[in-house]
Structure 1
Amino acid sequence: MDLLSEVIRTVRVGCATGRVIRQSGPTGVRFPAFDGSGIHILLRGSCWLITEDEEPVALRPGDVVLTSSGAAHGLSRVPHPLADLPLVDMRPIPPAPGPFDFEFLCGCYQLQHGHAPQYLRVLPDLIAVSPDYTAHPELRVLVDLLKADRSGGAQMGAGATLPALLDLILVHVLRQWHEQHGTDGWPGSRDPAIAAALREIHERPEQPWTVDRLSGVAGLPRTAFTRRFTAVVGRPPMSYLIGWRLSRGARLLRETDAPLSAIARQVGYANEFAFSGAFSREYGISPGRFRAGPGADPAPAHGRDAVSGSR
């Protein structure tokens, strides 16, 4: 199974938003924490990536910032405390005309229910990548297409084009990050025992896995396996298994018209009742209402700071 593709398909159940933003003056904009994942691509000018706890990071045209699991951050022409930056307006409006100091593309998947996949949550909160556009000219094409798509505000077909372009750009950025850090598969994991257990979970979530069975796959005693798995992945084995099963179930609910009983079996639940109970606890909504989509289930106020695109 292609883990990266599965992760991208999982975040795709969120609501895709994006726009081109232009900023002038010494300050910039603040993006509050949100449930989901997103990207910024600096098009022109220079600015600083601002976070709550880390030193500011200088960005140049072409640099990409990945918000892997929605951490609060900001972009500013000069360094400022994050709290001093004004909140961003993520409505799909055309960029402001006139002179500006820097211009960037912003796109994200906002998850109204559930959380970003654990794969993304174990990455650094914010990742700045300087892509090699010469080696990967297709990325430049994708950026240009996304800019054209977002520069005119809401457009016919945006519901299809925006998620497709975000998918492809996220894949390129994550690939490049893995290449730069010499990792393959689960972020930061070079533990073959844990990699073996993860592979079984990802490829066969329908199996009746227990900690004992997974520790056998890893070739480790139960206690040692649980300790090492939790250290690498960030969650205990059974907690991770449940999260993976339910995220796959969420994707199948949105992408297929398979009966609930069939989806339950595909992701390791004995029947639709067991799946529905677990899904409702994790996502805060029944599988049927989740499948119906955002239009049938009014979203909560747009996150903690009531800004579209924020947690």
Structure 2
Amino acid sequence: MDLISDAIRTVRVGTANARLIRQTAPGIRFAAFAGSGFHIITSGTCWLIGGDEPRSLAPGDIVLTSSGGEHGLSTRPCALADLPLVRMGPLPPAPRPTPFEFLCGAYRLQHHRAPQYLRALPDLIAVSPDYDGRPELRSLVGLLAADASAARPGSGATLRAVLDLILVQVLQQWEEHDGASWRPEAAHPGVVAALREIHEKPQLRWTVGRLSEVAGLPRAAFSRLFTTAVGEPPMRYVTGWRLGLAAQLLRETDLALARIAPQVGYSTEFALSAAFRREYGVSPGQFRSAP
């Protein structure tokens, strides 16, 4: 079971954005948002503000905002509230030289939250990638810089692919070095078995009882272990996974809702539509037609 790939497929239904920011003192603050993104320091040095303590960053370092938490990048250690909030839209050219520059890439989710896998991670993850051991990551950063710097034919499709791959690379590297204890796979093997069945067979009529049988655990013990490992109760996770798949199919295919419903565990299009509206705040049709 590849939870990283599953999470990336879920967030990519959001709006993809990338930009290069040349930052002057004192720095910049990013408000919390629904989605996931990252910053790649391209030149100069700065401090990551947010979390427990400021952390120094150097060229090549990458900061992952796994579920859109508030944070900042600063020329010196400071309080987050001391940094000016970023202005959305085109940024005016910064005077040269600037203390630091960085690339931003993000998926913004207009109608739903980041997937549970990403929400279970620390709010901010900073890594110093091994670019020699992962030369493909260096190439991806170059592609992102090109996409963020100039509008070119096909750049929209390229941008999503590059964001996907960079997010995967960063999550893989973080998990290899620091993240083993955060993965649901580190929990009871019965929980892993239940997750695998949910992911591979969302169309089945899952109940807590059926999932506990898959896990080989008493129902109460399974519910407790699953909630501890994953961060939410079993049936809430099932619903989120099904509706995330429905959102992906709405955005990436032209399948009618009546055909999507049975694929994601709903008996009728009306049942799926009602659940979708409760979760996302809009109808499936409105979600599909949104830019």
Q: If the length of structure 1 is used for normalisation, what is the TM-score?
A: 0.89
Alignment of 1:274 with 2:267, yes or no, is no
- Contact 2:273-2:284 at 8 Å conserved across structures: yes
Q: 1:39 to 1:240 in 2, by over 3 A?
A: same
Match of 1:35 in 2: 34
- Contact 1:226-1:237 at 8 Å conserved across structures: yes
Note the C-alpha offset of 1:161. Answer: 2.1
The one-letter amino acid paired with 1:46 is T
Note the C-alpha offset of 1:168. Answer: 0.9
Q: What SS does structure 1 have at the residue aligned with 2:18?
A: strand
Q: What SS does structure 2 have at the residue aligned with 1:8?
A: helix
- Contact 2:120-2:182 at 8 Å conserved across structures: no
Q: 1:280 to 1:215 in 2, by over 3 A?
A: same
- Contact 1:279-1:287 at 8 Å conserved across structures: yes
In structure 2, what is the Cα distance between the partners aligned to 1:202 and 1:270? 18
| Per-residue CA distance 1:115-142 (angstroms, 9 max, x = gap) | 1001100011110011100000110011
| Per-residue CA distance 1:166-218 (angstroms, 9 max, x = gap) | 11100101111121136399457332111111111111111101000101111
Match of 2:122 in 1: 124
In structure 1, what is the Cα distance between the partners aligned to 2:207 and 2:128? 42
Match of 1:135 in 2: 133
In structure 2, what is the Cα distance between the partners aligned to 1:219 and 1:103? 52
Match of 1:69 in 2: 67
- Contact 1:264-1:271 at 8 Å conserved across structures: yes
Question: Structure 1, unaligned stretches of length 5 or more?
Answer: 295-311
Q: 1:145 to 1:92 in 2, by over 3 A?
A: farther
Match of 1:47 in 2: 46
- Contact 1:94-1:151 at 8 Å conserved across structures: no
| Per-residue CA distance 1:216-236 (angstroms, 9 max, x = gap) | 111111111111111111100
- Contact 1:41-1:63 at 8 Å conserved across structures: yes
In structure 2, what is the Cα distance between the partners aligned to 1:85 and 1:182? 29
Match of 1:262 in 2: 259
- Contact 2:42-2:59 at 8 Å conserved across structures: yes
The one-letter amino acid paired with 2:43 is R
Q: 1:54 to 1:120 in 2, by over 3 A?
A: same
Question: Structure 2, unaligned stretches of length 5 or more?
Answer: none
- Contact 1:64-1:129 at 8 Å conserved across structures: yes
In structure 2, what is the Cα distance between the partners aligned to 1:95 and 1:275? 47
- Contact 2:205-2:265 at 8 Å conserved across structures: yes
Q: If the length of structure 2 is used for normalisation, what is the TM-score?
A: 0.95
In structure 2, what is the Cα distance between the partners aligned to 1:282 and 1:55? 35
Superposition pairs of residues 44-123 of structure 1, within 5 angstroms:
44-51=43-50, 53-93=51-91, 96-123=94-121
Match of 1:309 in 2: none
- Contact 2:66-2:121 at 8 Å conserved across structures: yes
Q: What SS does structure 1 have at the residue aligned with 2:235?
A: helix
Q: What SS does structure 1 have at the residue aligned with 2:39?
A: strand
Alignment of 1:240 with 2:237, yes or no, is yes
Match of 1:227 in 2: 224
Note the C-alpha offset of 1:103. Answer: 0.7
Q: What SS does structure 2 have at the residue aligned with 1:39?
A: strand
Q: What SS does structure 2 have at the residue aligned with 1:113?
A: coil
Q: 1:5 to 1:156 in 2, by over 3 A?
A: same
**Count of matched residue pairs:** 291
Note the C-alpha offset of 1:159. Answer: 1.8
Q: Could you say which structure has the greater relative contact order, defined with CA pairs below 8 angstroms and 6 or more residues apart?
A: 1
The one-letter amino acid paired with 2:148 is R
Q: What SS does structure 1 have at the residue aligned with 2:180?
A: coil
The one-letter amino acid paired with 2:132 is T
Note the C-alpha offset of 1:165. Answer: 1.1
| Per-residue CA distance 1:250-302 (angstroms, 9 max, x = gap) | 001111111111111000000100000000000000001111122xxxxxxxx
- Contact 2:18-2:105 at 8 Å conserved across structures: yes
The one-letter amino acid paired with 2:80 is L
- Flag as ranges the 4+ runs of structure 1 deviating above 6 A: none
- Contact 2:24-2:94 at 8 Å conserved across structures: no
- Contact 1:68-1:126 at 8 Å conserved across structures: yes
- Contact 1:19-1:92 at 8 Å conserved across structures: no
Q: 1:253 to 1:84 in 2, by over 3 A?
A: same
Q: What SS does structure 1 have at the residue aligned with 2:186?
A: coil
In structure 1, what is the Cα distance between the partners aligned to 2:139 and 2:130? 13
- Contact 1:17-1:92 at 8 Å conserved across structures: no
Out of 142-151 and 273-282, give the one that drifted further: 142-151
Out of 120-129 and 142-151, give the one that drifted further: 142-151
